[in-house]
């Protein structure tokens, strides 16, 4: 057994049986070990941002880490943006990053770089393997790190000789520790805050926006009269008919400040005090009033469900019917020119039961969440790190984690360009992903942000930097080039027809909706 074989066996024996890959020469022994040891499914991405984003999506939906296989510092570099997003989403990932053989690094060959230095800013745990004999233990430690609640990005650097030299045996990662139970004092403090009534909010994040936590939060809100709020972004939010619907903190600072301005107390449940996505001259970073008091019921890594259940008991809300549970509403299909509301109506009418929606629709999609509250129950995934290009790769990972569920990826034409290679992996793996590209042919959000930061009126250079219409991107051709069927439409009636057809057909397809 060589080091690579001991590592592959350790990963799969520890329950990491999914590997997203974009390997190179330094990783060839690991690739050979994947065949020899078996037990891991491998999915190839043609760009590393696809690989790391897919691992993020996989964790969000499967609840356990996948491995990635990346090629030295530059390959890891290409995956950093989506590792950033994954880390902010608290997704557990085990990155295996090849490096030159340890004795070769000193020779400064072309691909030599400070791999650990590249890893560190976007990893919670980094280790460089030093011997083939300890690679199995390194792998087990990486799995343990990745599974540490609420989920961590762990990066194990594997010099080629630690893969090809002899190793004694595989090992297995320790079972994950149960999540920490919150102290009774935290429950009592939260209860005291909530007894103050409607100037108090329960702010939900992480596992608190999934079931069964959401139902407990709904009971608490119904009983106490507090407001129920969720963070602007959520790694995985359960919503739709029959579910509790917390109010989402808006993106725009002024809107967020207005929404939160009456609050005197906020009880945090897997969430952090709300802050602006960006800073703007003369506007606050903190969105809640200065005198608002924050009480932490549970941190992201705590046992959030148990904490909410205990809080419900403390408030006598165990049997209180939860508030805000809308019935299934399927609006009539709209016609005419695409509008944010019309697009949202199509989604609300047609989203299939238990869909997984990956939302990277940026400016076009702002109206969608509010108008799809009554759609068929579904999961809604957004970017926790704010780095563009997360959507298509996360859709790949989600689809692999959830066979049988339809994944709907909502993309801006600007954002989809960063990691469009994900389309090829969708085609190769025949994933049930329906991609909708909202083609406004601009970085529309930047037009607004230019104004928001007080930069004045865009001149010729600025306008050119925001415009994607010279030449127009042709998403039908881009999709077909990657092996994905695609259609284009420019009115709501045909969009609805195309969307319904795409949802009904197996495998991936793409709809370009011209705005």
Residues between 44 and 83 with contacts to its own copies, criterion CB under 8 A: 44, 46-47, 49, 72-75, 77-78, 80-81
DSSP 209: G
Interactions with its own copies, residue window 136-155 (CB under 8 A): none
Positions 429 through 448 that interact with its own copies (CB under 8 A): 445-446
| Three-state secondary structure call for residue 372 | coil
Q: Which two tokens stand for residue 74?
A: 């530059």
CB 249 within 8 A of CB 256: yes
Residues 157-176 contacting its own copies, CB under 8 A: 160-161, 164
Residues 185-224 contacting its own copies, CB under 8 A: none
- Min. distance of Cβ 449 from its own copies in angstroms? 4
Smallest distance, Å, CB 184 to its own copies?
Answer: 29
Cα radius of gyration rounded to whole Å, the chain: 24
Residue 506 burial (CB count, 10 A): 8
Residues 308-337 that bind its own copies (CB under 8 A): none
Q: Which CB atom, from 103 or from 169, has the smaller least distance to its own copies?
A: 103
Toward its own copies, which CB reaches closer, 92 or 414?
414
Nearest to 226 by CA among 254, 262, 250, 257: 262
**Residue partners of 457: CB distance under 8 A and separation at least 6:** none
The helix (run of H) or strand (run of E) holding residue 379 is strand 378-381
- By beta-carbon proximity to its own copies, the closer residue of 28 and 325 is 28
- Smallest distance, Å, CB 46 to its own copies? 4
CB of 194 to its own copies, least distance (A): 25
Residues 455-494 touching its own copies, rule: CB under 8 A, are 455-456, 458-462, 464-465, 468, 470-483
Of 504, 456, 509, 514, the C-alpha closest to 484 is: 509
The whole-angstrom separation of Cα 208 and Cα 234 is 10
Let me know the angle formed at the C-alpha of 288 by 284 and 293, rounded to the nearest 5 degrees: 130
Residue whose CB is less far from its own copies, 244 or 388: 388
Q: Phi first, then psi: what are they for 399, rounded to 5°? A: -65, -35
CA–CA separation, 409 vs 510, rounded Å? 9
Q: Tell whether residue 113 is a contact of its own copies (CB under 8 A).
A: yes
Q: Which is nearer to its own copies, 23 or 331 (CB)?
A: 23
Q: Which residue number, 85 or 224, has a Cβ lying nearer to its own copies?
A: 85
Among positions 1, 42, 189, 503, the unique one binding its own copies when judged by CB under 8 A: 42
- Rounded Cα–Cα distance for residues 136 and 432 (Å): 35
Contacts with its own copies: how many residues (CB under 8 A)?
103
Residues 331-390 that bind its own copies (CB under 8 A): 383-389
**Which residues from 250-289 bind its own copies, rule CB under 8 A?**
272, 275-279, 281, 285-286
Q: Which of 12, 14, 21, 68 binds its own copies (CB under 8 A)?
A: 21
CA separation for the pair 33, 163 (Å, rounded)? 9
The distance of closest approach from Cβ of residue 101 to its own copies in the complex, given in angstroms and rounded to an integer, is 4
**Burial call 455-486: b when 16+ CB within 10 Å, e when fewer:** eeebeeeeeeebebeeeebebbebbeebebeb
Spatial distance between the Cα atoms of 332 and 350, rounded to a whole number of angstroms:
10
Nearer to its own copies, 168 or 483 (CB): 483
**Which of these segments, 59-67, 102-110, 171-179, 497-505, binds its own copies (CB under 8 A)?**
102-110
Tokens 């429950």 correspond to 187
Tell me if 103 sits within 8 A of 131, measured CB to CB: no
Question: In the complex, what is the shortest distance from the CB of residue 242 to its own copies, in angstroms, rounded to a whole number?
Answer: 30
Q: How far is the CB of 55 from its own copies (least distance, A)?
A: 16
Cis omega (within 30 of 0) for bond into 339: no
Q: Examine residue 233 and tell whether it contacts its own copies (CB under 8 A).
A: yes
Contact between residue 245 and residue 279 where contact means Cβ atoms under 8 Å apart? no
Least distance (Å) between residue 43 CB and its own copies: 9
**Residue closer to its own copies (CB basis): 348 or 420:** 420
Query: Which one of residues 62, 101, 128, 252 is an interface residue with its own copies (CB under 8 A)?
Result: 101
At its nearest, how many Å lie between its own copies and the CB of residue 219?
30
Stretch that binds its own copies, among 137-145, 175-183, 434-442, 452-460 (CB under 8 A): 452-460
Q: CA–CA separation, 186 vs 306, rounded Å?
A: 12
Of 47 and 216, CB closest to its own copies: 47
Helix (H) or strand (E) holding 487: strand 485-489
Window contacting its own copies (CB under 8 A); options: 110-118, 170-178, 199-207, 433-441: 110-118
Instruction: Name the 3-class secondary structure at 486.
Output: strand
- Return the number of the residue (296 or 387) whose C-beta is nearest its own copies: 387
5-16 b/e with 16+ CB inside 10 Å = b? bbbbbbbbbbeb
Of 404 and 470, nearer to its own copies (C-beta) is: 470
When binding is defined by CB under 8 A, the residue of 88, 90, 236, 248 that contacts its own copies is 88
**Helices (H), ranges, 148-260:** 160-164, 184-194, 213-224, 253-260
């Amino acid at each position: 057994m060589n080091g690579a074989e001991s590592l592959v066996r350790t990963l799969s024996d520890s329950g990491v049986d999914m590997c997203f890959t974009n390997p190179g020469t330094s990783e060839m022994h690991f690739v050979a070990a994947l065949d020899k040891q078996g037990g891991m499914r491998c999915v190839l991405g043609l760009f590393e941002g696809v690989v790391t984003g897919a691992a993020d999506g996989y964790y969000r939906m499967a609840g356990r880490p996948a491995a990635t296989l990346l090629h030295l510092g530059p390959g890891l570099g290409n995956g950093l943006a989506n590792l950033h997003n994954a880390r902010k989403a608290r997704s557990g990932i085990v990155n295996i990053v090849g490096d030159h053989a340890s004795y070769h690094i000193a020779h400064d060959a072309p691909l030599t770089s400070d791999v650990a230095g590249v890893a560190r800013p976007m990893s919670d745990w980094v280790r460089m393997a030093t011997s083939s004999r300890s690679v199995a233990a390194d792998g087990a430690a990486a799995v343990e790190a990745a599974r540490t609640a609420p989920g961590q990005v762990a990066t194990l650097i594997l010099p080629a000789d630690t893969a090809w030299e002899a190793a004694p045996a595989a090992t297995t990662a320790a079972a994950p520790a149960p999540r920490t139970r919150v102290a009774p004092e935290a429950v009592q403090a939260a209860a005291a805050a909530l007894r103050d009534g409607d100037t108090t909010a329960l702010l939900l994040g992480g596992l608190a926006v999934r079931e069964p936590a959401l139902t407990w939060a709904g009971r608490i809100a119904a009983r106490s009269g507090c407001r129920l709020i969720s963070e602007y972004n959520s790694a995985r939010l359960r919503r739709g008919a029959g579910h509790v619907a917390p109010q989402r903190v808006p993106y725009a600072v002024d809107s967020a400040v207005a929404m939160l301005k009456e609050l005197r107390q906020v009880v945090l449940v897997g969430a952090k005090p709300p802050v602006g996505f960006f800073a703007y001259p003369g506007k606050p970073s903190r969105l809640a009033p200065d005198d608002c008091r924050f009480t932490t019921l549970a941190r992201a890594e705590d046992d959030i469900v148990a904490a909410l259940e205990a809080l419900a008991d403390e408030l006598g809300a165990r049997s209180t019917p939860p508030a805000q549970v809308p019935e299934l509403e399927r609006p009539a299909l709209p016609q005419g020119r695409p509008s944010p509301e019309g697009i949202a109506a199509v989604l609300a009418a047609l989203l299939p039961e238990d869909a997984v929606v990956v939302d990277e629709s940026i400016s076009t999609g702002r109206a969608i969440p509010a108008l799809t509250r009554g759609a068929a129950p579904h999961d809604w995934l957004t970017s926790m790190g704010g780095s563009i290009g997360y959507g298509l790769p996360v859709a790949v990972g989600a689809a692999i984690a959830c066979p049988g569920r339809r994944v709907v990826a909502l993309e801006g034409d600007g954002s989809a360009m960063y990691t469009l290679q994900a389309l090829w992996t969708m085609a190769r793996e025949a994933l049930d992903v329906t991609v909708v590209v909202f083609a406004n042919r601009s970085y529309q959000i930047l037009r607004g942000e230019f104004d928001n930061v007080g930069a004045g009126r865009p001149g010729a250079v600025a306008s050119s930097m925001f415009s994607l219409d010279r030449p127009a991107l042709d998403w039908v051709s881009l999709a077909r080039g990657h092996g994905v069927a695609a259609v284009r439409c420019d009115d709501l009636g045909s969009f609805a027809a195309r969307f319904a057809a795409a949802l009904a057909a197996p495998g991936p397809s793409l709809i370009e909706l011209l705005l």
